Amino acid sequence: MGTAAACWAARAQDAGTVFTNPAGMTRLEKSELLVGIQPLYLHSEFSPDSNTTTSGPDGDASTWLPAGGLYYVHNLMPKLKKGTRFGLTYLSEGDLKFKDKPDFSNLGPGLEAALGKKGLLDAKIKIDFTMPQALALSAYHELTDRWAIMGNLGWQDWSEFGQVGVTVASEDTSSLTVDRNYKDTWHAAVGAHYRVTDPWLLTAGVAYDSSMVDDDDRTPDLPLGEQWRFGLGARCDWSEKLALGIGYTFLWGGDLDMDVNRGPLAGRLSGTYDKVSMSFINFYLNWKF
């Protein structure tokens, strides 16, 4: 935490490596337990413009999101030599399938009659899509006993995620594949560690992720764009067995324009998500056995 995820495929600082870099478990000197609390704050306020024809809530999705984690690694390996390390992480794609029966409310008489005539009021909807595969290359190098630098390069196959299959099971069952025009994304990050004194370690990093959609293809259900992340953190080695730490990451998405025309029934939604950002705060405890 505090490095904007720089070097997560090559770094093995604590038991959290079981999630980001499983091979890094071999570099831990002792068995470790990591417990973390991570409240997240999302700022995503939508401002409709004069082109919007639909009505509804203001679209402000700003909120606090509670999160946390617990990781344990039992070490069976001896200590390995430190210095320069490289890591490669690959996540395979996965197929997800969902089905449900929607509930309708506040339908106008004309729309309700049209849906009922097609048998859609009691229809079941099935949706399937593919979670993207991802590849990340990381490097870590200790310049001195106090300084270490690190970096990431990554790729994610979001174009495959954008191919969504939709099936409506009714009297006249039909299926189609919706192409949401998602693009593959690229990731880059750099970070550093600085050992101030024997118990204190400071961390910092910056990361960039390209946008998975063009402005013309952005929709209200997933209003994303390019992202910058800036991280700062501190760790105190309280004793040989106990370490306490805190980290903060600020994600900046900027202003995200959107213009979606969904036809005469749903209307047009046009405007801007203003100054989209997220704040990640992490408090953690790491215990070595």
**Mean pLDDT in the chain?**
75
> Could you tell me if 80 and 27 are in contact, meaning their C-beta atoms sit under 8 angstroms apart?
yes
In the chain, the number of structural domains is 1
**Residue 81 in domain:** yes
Contacts of 171 (CB under 8 A, 6+ apart): 118, 119
Q: Distance between CA atoms of 150 and 141, rounded to whole angstroms? A: 6
**Residue 173 in domain:** no
Q: Distance between CA atoms of 289 and 29, rounded to whole angstroms? A: 10
Task: Output the CA–CA distances (angstroms, integers) from residue 80 to 24, 28, 29, 30, 200, in the order listed.
Answer: 11, 9, 8, 12, 23
Note the pLDDT of residue 26. Answer: 47
**Residue 113 in domain:** no
Domain that holds residue 78: 17-92+136-160+182-288
Provide, rounded to the nearest whole percent, the portion of the chain with pLDDT above 70.
Answer: 65
Residue 38 has pLDDT above 60, yes or no: yes
The per-residue pLDDT for range 78-108, each reduced to its tens digit, is 454 557 777 767 777 777 777 777 777 777 7
**Residue 3 in domain:** no
**Residue 109 in domain:** no
Question: Model pTM?
Answer: 0.66
Note the pLDDT of residue 10. Answer: 45
- Angle among Cα 65, 105, 171 to the nearest 5 degrees reads 110
Note the pLDDT of residue 155. Answer: 92
**Residue 123 in domain:** no
Q: Distance between CA atoms of 186 and 163, rounded to whole angstroms? A: 19
Task: Compute how many other C-beta atoms are within 10 angstroms of the C-beta atom of residue 257.
Answer: 14
The per-residue pLDDT for range 236-289, each reduced to its tens digit, is 999 988 889 999 999 999 998 888 887 776 678 888 888 889 898 888 888 777
Task: Compute how many other C-beta atoms are within 10 angstroms of the C-beta atom of residue 276.
Answer: 23
**Residue 125 in domain:** no
Helices (H), 106-175: 109-117, 158-161
Helices (H), the chain: 17-20, 109-117, 158-161, 263-266
Q: Distance between CA atoms of 44 and 289, rounded to whole angstroms? A: 42
**Residue 63 in domain:** yes
CATH of the domain at 213: 2.40.160.60
Q: Say if residue 115 is exposed, middle or buried (CB neighbours under 10 Å; 0-12, 13-18, 19+).
A: middle
Instruction: Give the pLDDT mean for 13-37.
Output: 58
Q: Distance between CA atoms of 218 and 50, rounded to whole angstroms? A: 18
> Could you tell me if 34 and 12 are in contact, meaning their C-beta atoms sit under 8 angstroms apart?
no
Q: Say if residue 250 is exposed, middle or buried (CB neighbours under 10 Å; 0-12, 13-18, 19+).
A: middle
